[in-house]
């Protein structure tokens, strides 16, 4: 039993060491990629259900670690947040996305806005607003070209700290969306206080609306609630025509998901925009 105890201990301590080691490798990899390059953005289109055209694209980070291979943002973003690397990385994303939108404008692609995900850590940084404004202007864009997506849980846990900043962003013309809506715990009262323009219904409610009556009701409820507060509703993770039709019948304003396109490299999404928007 003694030796088995020791083996179990060794087994776990090795597993823990591997976890710590991998985390460290990711952290060092992030630092290195910030200095020497290594990140890319892909873009996923959003379709306006009233016009059928692509109204926005969402910028999504992509990263291949030199040794560990492709790492999903759900894995490396939390590490970037804990280490504050999200601050320079977040600005890199905004700069890159604005650069891309400017390039499309120069190529005659108009009427499409750029949505960027931001961490609440970025919103808590005093220099964020000024840094964002100077990037937007450097690319000859204006606030109204940009949408920022902030997850529901992050915003609700930090409401008092970020409220003034959200107001400044709104005054600058930026659209603010609550991401992953429905997974947090927004009360109606607090939602009403937030300077936001749209809600993105989380994929977990959308993926089975054809078969899960409960989730279909939740989507209907979010759409009705959002509209009553004057908000635009976007459904994410739409993969089938049936899901699209149900959401359209419930009055959903826009959809995003594999049905339209996966997140794509800039050139591919530009072709799609030209094709769809004519
Ligand atoms: P998110 O903002 O909720 O982004 C949507 C995620 O759902 C993306 O995953 C996208 O590829 C995926 N997706 C879109 N349509 C479908 C669909 O129809 N079916 C399925 N199964 N999945 C779909 P991705 O790119 O892996 O990003 C994961 C998360 O990482 C994002 O979730 C976002 O929270 C975070 N993230 C990505 N890029 C950034 C960034 O630049 N900054 C920050 N702060 N977070 C980012
Ligand atoms: Ca998002
Ligand atoms: Ca989301
Ligand atoms: Ca998410």
Question: In this predicted model, what pLDDT tens digit does every residue of 55-68 receive, in sequence order?
Answer: 999 999 999 999 99
Neighbours of ion ligand 2 (CB under 5 A): 117, 149, 179
Atom of ligand 1 nearest to the CA of 180: 3
Supply the pLDDT for residue 264.
98
For the CA of 119, the nearest atom of ligand 1: 44
Query: Any idea which ligand is nearest the CA of 181?
Result: 3
Q: What is the pTM of this model?
A: 0.94
Residue from 62, 89, 96, 117 whose mutation best tests the ligand 1 pocket (most atoms within 8 A of CB)? 117
Residue segments in the chain with a per-residue pLDDT below the cut of 70 = 1-4
pLDDT score of 16: 74
| Cα–Cα dist 17/21, whole Å | 6
How confident is the model at residue 192, as a pLDDT?
Answer: 84
Cα–Cα distances in Å, from 85 out to 33, 122, 185, 194, 258?
11, 10, 28, 27, 30
Give the number of other CB atoms < 10 A from CB of residue 223.
20
The pLDDT score that the predictor gives to residue 186 is 78
Judge contact between 96 and 33, C-beta under 8 A. Answer: no
Please choose, from the candidates 201, 277, 208, 202, the residue with its C-alpha nearest in 3D space to the C-alpha of residue 240: 208
For residue 177, the CA-to-ligand 2 centroid distance in Å is 9
Q: Give the residue, by CA position, lying nearest to ligand 1 atom 3.
A: 180
- Give residues (CB < 6 A) around ligand 1: 44, 60-61, 72-74, 77, 93, 117-119, 149, 179-180, 203, 236-239, 257-258, 263
Query: Is residue 176 within a helix (H) or strand (E), and if so which, with residue range?
Result: strand 175-181
């Amino acid at each position: 039993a003694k030796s088995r105890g020791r083996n179990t201990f060794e087994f776990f301590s090795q597993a823990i060491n591997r976890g710590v080691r991998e985390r460290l490798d990711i952290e060092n990899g992030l630092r290195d990629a910030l200095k020497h390059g290594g990140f890319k953005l892909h873009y996923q289109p959003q379709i306006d259900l009233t016009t059928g055209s692509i109204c926005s694209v969402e910028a999504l980070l992509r990263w291949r670690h030199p040794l560990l291979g492709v790492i999903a943002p759900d894995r490396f973003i939390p590490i970037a947040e804990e280490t504050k690397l999200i601050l320079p990385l977040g600005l890199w994303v905004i700069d890159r996305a604005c650069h891309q939108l400017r390039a499309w404008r120069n190529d005659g692609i108009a009427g499409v806005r750029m949505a960027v995900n931001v961490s609440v850590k970025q919103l808590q940084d005093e220099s964020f607003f000024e840094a964002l404004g100077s990037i937007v202007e450097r690319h000859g864009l204006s606030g109204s070209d940009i949408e920022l997506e902030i997850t529901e849980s992050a915003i609700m846990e930090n409401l008092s700290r970020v409220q003034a900043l959200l107001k400044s962003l709104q005054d600058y013309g930026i659209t603010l969306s609550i991401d992953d809506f429905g997974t947090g715990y927004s009360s109606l009262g607090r939602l009403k206080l937030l300077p936001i323009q749209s809600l993105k219904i989380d994929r977990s409610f959308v993926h089975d609306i054809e078969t899960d009556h409960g989730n279909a009701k939740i989507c209907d409820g979010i759409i009705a609630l959002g509209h009553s507060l004057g908000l635009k509703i976007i459904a994410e993770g739409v993969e089938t025509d049936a899901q699209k039709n149900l959401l359209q019948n419930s009055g959903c304003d826009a959809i995003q998901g594999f049905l339209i396109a996966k997140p794509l490299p800039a050139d591919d999404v530009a072709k799609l925009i030209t094709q769809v928007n004519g």
